[in-house]
């Protein structure tokens, strides 16, 4: 018989556990009242002036950097979207501003992906170059035919130019790598220098004409291809600086796309996702005010004054981002009581007139005697052309079916006509056989380039940042988005005194060490 004996022993606590409640009490107190010992890091109230692609992307990046706690007010007196704008013709909306987006515009592509918008390939137009009397070059439906025609007339200039553009584009793409790692710059010159060295800086100091001549581009190609592209994109000739000329040539590539429903959906979506307070008012001035703190310290804040119809108002901010041009004839914002004056007289802006016409184009105006053979749906003009238009193309609505085809130019369709000045009735009557609707829009669209460019800094004052300084290198949607992220990073690093992330040299070597 086996008897099992089980002893029940009352477990004794470990001596160290007797101290646990006493140890936990201060931890609980600290976790509950830690803000009394270490106040939370302040999140500066911020103002963004302008709700175009610059202002909306700046608000997005500010929210990304400073987090949910920061207050962001966006001021806009007109429609949200800026250069992303549409006009209504016969019940349909058409793009009148920035129409296409390049596949390597990485910030813009990320906005579209994040917002759940839909990319739509831009319909291919058949291009023709008009010299004032006739078309000197006309595209075909067949790619191989176009290549043969280009080589026959211009040799290998098209290939030489394409290789030159891609070499600079490849180097500029480093800016995305720098911004991903949080680096920022106080001036355009410092940004360009770090991305492409002295060569990039010098591109703003000489013309695209000089740059392309150095690589052996012929005068014929310059006159008949390069100049019309500059006129189409910037209403100017090959005397514009080489950097903006390079970006302009990118816009002549294929594989361009647009946002289904209108590009302005990007701006509206960014403002909504950033949870900003949109103030429908026109900013009139930005002043400095001294603000005492409880500890006796006195700090400087910015008073933003605005008008909304007959009413006026103001708000106080720690950070101000200006996302609208400050140049003569464009903006009337004044800056007062600043420790250093802000100069905005670096140059002038070029007027752009967009006329949407629903009607039938007059083929004989462009030297075509047989309208049945007229198949061109995009026309660019040479510098000495006798016509008053810069360019014209058939436009599709912002919302269209997947199988949409551009209508033939001899049918009634919507044409987008670009000019420097408004078109007179006589000019329109010569251009179109018939018209059923028309809309005209005028704006100061981009700088009037004249290298060497005088470029304002990104940092206008202690905590006032200026996006549109980047337009003096190139005025494009993506360049403004790059400036917006730079401003958000710069404001964040300066607020928290992270100076090692500002204006650093030799970033490629630094990134290799970090990685």
What's the whole-model pTM score?
A: 0.88
Exposed/middle/buried for 362, CB within 10 Å: 0-12, 13-18, 19+? middle
CA dihedral 77→318→42→511, nearest 10 degrees, is 90
CA separation for the pair 323, 368 (Å, rounded): 45
Q: In whole angstroms, what is the distance from residue 197 CA to residue 388 CA?
A: 40
211: left (phi over 0), alpha (psi -120 to 50) or beta: alpha
Buried residues in 406-419 as b, exposed as e (16+ CB within 10 A): beebbeebbbbbbb
CB distance 318 to 45 below 8 Å:
yes
- What gap in Å lies between CA 272 and CA 143, rounded to an integer? 43
Nearest to 483 by CA among 1, 38, 48, 42: 48
Cis ω for the linkage preceding 452 (within 30 of 0): yes
Q: What does the pLDDT profile of the chain (515 residues) look like in tens digits?
A: 333 333 333 444 444 444 444 444 444 343 333 333 334 446 689 999 999 999 999 999 999 999 998 999 999 999 999 889 999 999 999 999 888 888 889 999 999 999 999 998 877 889 999 999 999 999 988 989 999 999 999 999 999 999 999 999 999 999 999 999 999 999 999 999 999 999 999 999 999 999 999 999 999 999 999 999 999 999 999 999 999 999 999 877 768 899 999 999 999 999 999 999 999 999 999 999 887 767 777 778 999 999 998 999 999 999 999 999 987 667 789 888 777 767 666 678 889 999 999 999 998 898 876 666 788 999 999 998 788 899 999 999 999 877 778 888 888 999 999 999 999 999 999 999 999 999 999 988 889 999 998 888 999 999 999 999 999 999 999 999 999 999 999 999 999 999 999 999 888 888 876 65
Cα 490 to Cα 182: distance, rounded to the nearest angstrom: 9
Q: Which of 481, 488, 432 is nearest to 465 (CA)?
A: 488
Q: Say which residues have a Cβ less than 8 Å from residue 71's Cβ, sequence separation at least 6.
A: 43, 45, 46, 277
On whether the CB atoms of residues 155 and 139 are closer than 8 A, the answer is no
> In 3-state terms, what secondary structure has residue 48?
strand
- Give yes or no for a contact between 82 and 53, defined as CB atoms under 8 angstroms apart: yes
* 490 in Cβ contact with 463 (< 8 Å): no
């Amino acid at each position: 018989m086996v008897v099992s004996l089980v002893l029940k022993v009352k477990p004794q606590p470990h001596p160290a556990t007797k101290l646990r409640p006493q140890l936990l009490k201060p931890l609980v107190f600290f976790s509950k009242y830690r803000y009394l010992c270490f106040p939370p890091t302040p999140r500066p109230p911020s103002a963004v002036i302008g709700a175009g692609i610059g202002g909306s992307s700046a608000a997005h990046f500010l929210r990304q950097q400073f987090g949910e706690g920061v207050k962001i007010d966006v001021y806009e007196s007109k429609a949200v979207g800026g250069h992303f704008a549409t006009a209504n013709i016969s019940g349909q909306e058409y793009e009148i501003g920035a129409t296409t987006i390049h596949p390597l515009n990485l910030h813009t592509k990320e906005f579209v992906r994040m917002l759940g918008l839909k990319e739509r390939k831009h319909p291919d137009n058949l291009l023709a170059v008009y010299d004032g009397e006739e078309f000197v070059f006309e595209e075909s439906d067949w790619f191989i035919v176009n290549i043969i025609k280009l080589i026959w007339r211009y040799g290998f200039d098209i290939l030489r130019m394409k290789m030159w553009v891609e070499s600079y584009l490849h180097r500029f793409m480093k800016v995305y790598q720098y911004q991903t790692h949080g680096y920022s710059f106080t001036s355009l010159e410092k940004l360009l220098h770090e991305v492409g060295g002295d060569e990039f800086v010098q591109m703003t100091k000489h013309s695209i004409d000089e740059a392309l001549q150095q690589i052996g581009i012929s005068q014929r190609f310059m006159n008949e291809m390069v100049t019309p592209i500059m006129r189409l994109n910037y209403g100017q000739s090959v005397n514009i600086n080489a950097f903006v000329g390079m970006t302009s040539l990118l816009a002549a590539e294929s594989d361009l796309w647009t946002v289904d429903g209108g590009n302005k959906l990007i701006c509206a979506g960014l403002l909504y996702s950033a949870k900003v307070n949109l103030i429908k008012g026109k900013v009139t001035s930005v002043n400095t005010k001294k603000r005492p703190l409880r500890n006796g310290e006195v700090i400087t804040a910015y008073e933003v004054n605005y008008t909304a119809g007959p009413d006026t108002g103001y708000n106080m901010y720690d950070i101000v981002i200006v996302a609208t041009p400050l140049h003569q004839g464009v903006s009337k914002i004044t800056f007062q009581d600043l420790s250093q004056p802000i100069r905005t007289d670096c140059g002038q802006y070029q007027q752009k007139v967009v006329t949407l016409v629903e009607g039938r184009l007059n083929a004989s105006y462009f030297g075509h005697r047989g309208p049945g053979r007229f198949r061109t749906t995009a026309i660019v003009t040479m510098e000495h052309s006798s016509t008053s238009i810069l360019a014209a193309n058939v436009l599709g609505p912002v919302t269209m079916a997947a199988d949409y085809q551009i209508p033939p130019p001899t049918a009634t369709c919507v044409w987008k006509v670009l000019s420097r000045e408004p078109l007179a009735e006589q000019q329109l009557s010569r251009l179109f056989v018939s018209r059923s609707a028309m809309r005209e829009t005028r704006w100061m669209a981009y700088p009037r380039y004249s290298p060497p460019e005088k470029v304002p800094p990104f940092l206008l004052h202690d905590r006032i940042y200026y996006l549109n300084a980047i337009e003096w290198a190139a005025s494009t949607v993506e360049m403004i988005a790059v400036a917006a992220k730079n401003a958000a990073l710069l404001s964040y690093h300066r607020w928290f005194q992270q100076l090692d992330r500002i204006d650093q040299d030799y970033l490629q070597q630094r990134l290799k060490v970090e990685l």
